[in-house]
């Protein structure tokens, strides 16, 4: 009996050691798994093109913190989860958006992928010290297609203001002509055979901390101080 007790103790120690090694192995496996999942992630969150306080006072660092750091980041995480292990994971973000648009079985992928694309485009649509009027070919085309810059501002503001609920307003190129558009939720001209030139996010999360219910004031300040016409001109050429 006495010899059996130490034996039992040894067995138990052995068991504990084995169990511990197993847990360690699982941890290692987990680390390797998450490392390879990381590498295989289809979509990444692009860096902001400026500091988080660069758009103040129109858009505060606090808004950017939530909007970029939480909302945009969550769309990236969601789309990666949704496409992991599917053919969609091999696509570029643009292909993902175009392929899933209007597909009832892929609504979740479309919403998250389009929101990733729209937000990246929105950050570029603004710059510190932006605003004013465009020049060159873009202004000439706005004059020719949209009845002048003042008329464009009026129409763009109206589109942004009257987008009921969440969504976006856009300046886009459609069949070679400039057009002011508005889209609900995640919808994007990118999926509609149009070429976006500029966008403003009018989801409440884009302005509520800074402007509360005053969407019209956010839009006016955005056009006066933030809109990045260099980016729009680049998109018109490219
Ligand atoms: Mn947003």
pLDDT tens for each residue of 50-93: 999 999 999 999 999 999 999 999 999 999 999 999 999 999 99
For range 19-25, the mean pLDDT: 41
| Domain contains 41 | no
Domain with 165, as residue range(s), is 136-237
Ligand 1 centre to CA of 166 (Å) is: 9
Q: Is residue 7 part of a domain?
A: no
Q: What is the pTM of this model?
A: 0.83
10 Å Cβ neighbour count for 71?
Answer: 16
- Does a structural domain hold residue 1? no
**Separation of 94 CA from ligand 1 center, angstroms?**
18
CATH number of the domain to which 82 belongs:
1.10.287.990
CA–centroid distance, residue 201 to ligand 1 (Å) = 6
Same domain, yes or no: 182 and 94: no
90 domain-assigned: yes
Shared domain check, 150 and 72 = no
| Distance in angstroms (rounded) separating the CA atoms of residues 119 and 72 | 7
Express as a percent the part of the chain with pLDDT over 70.
83
High-pLDDT (> 90) share of the chain, %: 82
pLDDT tens per residue across span 146-197: 999 999 999 999 999 999 999 999 999 999 999 999 999 999 999 998 999 9
Which residues keep their CB under 5 angstroms from ion ligand 1? 201, 203, 206
How far is ligand 1, taken at its centre, from the CA of residue 142, in Å? 26
Task: Identify the pLDDT of residue 3.
Answer: 40
CA of 220 to the centre of ligand 1 (A): 18
pLDDT computed for residue 42 by the predictor? 87
Q: Distance from the CA of 147 to the center of ligand 1, in angstroms? A: 29
Check whether the bond before 126 is cis (ω within 30° of 0). no
């Amino acid at each position: 009996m006495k010899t059996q007790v130490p034996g039992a103790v040894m067995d138990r120690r052995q068991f504990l050691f084995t169990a511990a090694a197993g847990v360690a192995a699982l941890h290692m496996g987990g680390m390797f798994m998450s490392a390879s999942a990381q590498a295989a992630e289809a979509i990444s969150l692009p860096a902001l093109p400026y500091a988080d306080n660069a758009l103040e006072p129109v858009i505060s660092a606090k808004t950017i913190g939530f909007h970029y750091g939480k909302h945009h980041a969550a769309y990236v995480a969601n789309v990666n989860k949704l496409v992991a292990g599917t053919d969609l994971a091999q696509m570029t973000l643009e292909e993902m958006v175009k392929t899933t648009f209007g597909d009832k079985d892929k609504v979740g992928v479309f919403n998250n992928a389009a929101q990733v694309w729209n937000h990246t485009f929105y950050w570029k649509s603004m710059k510190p010290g932006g605003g004013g009027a465009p020049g060159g070919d873009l202004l000439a085309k706005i004059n020719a297609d949209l009845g002048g810059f003042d008329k464009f501002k009026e129409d763009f503001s109206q589109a942004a203001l009257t987008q009921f609920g969440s969504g976006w307003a856009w300046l886009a190129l459609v069949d070679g002509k400039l057009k002011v558009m508005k889209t609900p939720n995640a919808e994007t001209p990118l999926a509609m055979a149009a070429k976006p030139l500029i966008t403003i996010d009018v989801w409440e999360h884009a302005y509520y901390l800074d402007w509360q219910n005053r969407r019209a004031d956010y839009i006016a300040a955005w056009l006066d101080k933030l809109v990045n016409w260099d980016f729009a001109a680049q998109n018109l050429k490219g």
